[in-house]
Homo-oligomer: A and B are copies of this chain.
């Protein structure tokens, strides 16, 4: 079958690879209908990870069940299914408590596994015609049989639940005010989640006009951080008050408002600490990594950087971090899509054949307009 294969930094190709096969009785094989490129794929693409040549990318996968293992009891051939990017076993201590992003079974020695991602276990990605899905009864979310909402549902693999997780980590509640740092796909989905959860005012901070425009169209207040400290801008608008909650949807590759555009891994966290009122909470779905060879200093290369902890403590702030547990949210978000109450596909900018993946990666990596969120379509 055809698959998107990593060959080295800035070098991915669509190649022929072996078809996947049932390996355990609890596996299924899914024929992929939609598979998205994720911002986190770029970390590998740019060579900032240990990813080895030969890795098939793709952790945002959706399709139709083609073959079913003998131990699978719920999922049937022909079912239309969506797969969370994190793979869970369903029976470990973490999965059982709903922390499926930190499964203790699927990636021995580490908490958490995923498809097609470096260090996330021996699972081939789904930017391909077919995908093996382990613990299929646990990992397949059933979709309505028709072909509606293909793009909306595709957002359920990762970015919608990831954005939503930001709002959950910050415990965003009815009538609250929120500052969301970052208006990339995850930031926009976080802001969207805040609105769905009943926030009163949501500020979205970025410097790219198109993204700020999308946030504004959603009903948020756009804040352009290239025009001044975003916390100060918000506090000025609010006559001296901050916000109750903030969300860091940026992570360690944050850049400050300086002209140089250099990475400052703590700039967004510091912004969150500054703008959030005492008693507030900070949700952090944006990625921080414990090992970053490309970092500018030795501390940062170990994911370590200074934080205004004294201020954080004085305000009595809490913060929550980590990758989302897709399965906590995906059924409910699916039902909102089916009911026509949300349209997360509003962030999808383009659909291209799987064969065009190399070009799509390159343009996405260049932040070209129209390549915010790309869905790949295998021919099969």
Binding site for B on A (CB under 8 A): 24-26, 69-71, 73-74, 89-94, 96-99, 101-102, 105, 111-112, 137-138, 164, 169, 173-177, 196-198, 200-201, 219, 252, 265-266, 269, 277-279, 284, 287-292, 299, 302-323, 327, 329, 331-336, 338-339, 341
Contact = CB atoms under 8 A, between A and B. Distances in A.
B318 A200 contact: no
Contacts of A341: 198, 200, 219
Give the one of A26, A73, A284 with max B CB within 10 A: A73
Nearest to A95: B90
B319 A318 contact: yes
A323 B287 CA distance: 29
A198 B25 contact: no
Contacts of A25: 25-26, 69-71
A341 to B, nearest CB: 6
A321 B321 contact: no
Nearest to A25: B71
Contacts of A333: 174-175
Nearest to A202: B339
B71 A26 contact: yes
Contact of A339 (B201, B304, B319): B201
Contact of A318 (B69, B169, B329): B169
A175 B331 contact: yes
B308 A290 contact: yes
A299 B299 CA distance: 15
B91 A137 contact: yes
A283 B72 CA distance: 37
A253 to B, nearest CB: 12
A319 B327 CA distance: 23
B176 A332 contact: yes
A331 B197 contact: no
A99 B313 contact: no
B174 A197 contact: yes
Nearest to A295: B310
A316 B86 CA distance: 14
A175 B307 contact: no
8 contacts: A70-B70, A74-B105, A111-B278, A112-B278, A219-B341, A290-B313, A303-B314, A306-B307
A293 to B, nearest CB: 12
Contact of A289 (B91, B278, B314): B314
A321 B310 contact: no
A310 B322 contact: no
B71 A91 contact: no
A131 to B, nearest CB: 18
A26 B317 CA distance: 31
B336 A309 contact: no
Contacts of A305: 306-307, 309
Contact of A96 (B311, B312, B327): B327
- The 4 A-B residue pairs whose C-beta atoms are closest, nearest first, are A303-B310, A316-B322, A175-B332, A71-B71
B304 A138 contact: no
B322 A94 contact: no
A307 B308 CA distance: 10
Nearest to A289: B310
A197 B69 CA distance: 40
A291 B304 CA distance: 21
Given A175-B331, A332-B175, A308 B315 contact: no
B316 A318 contact: no
A29 to B, nearest CB: 16
Nearest to A283: B318
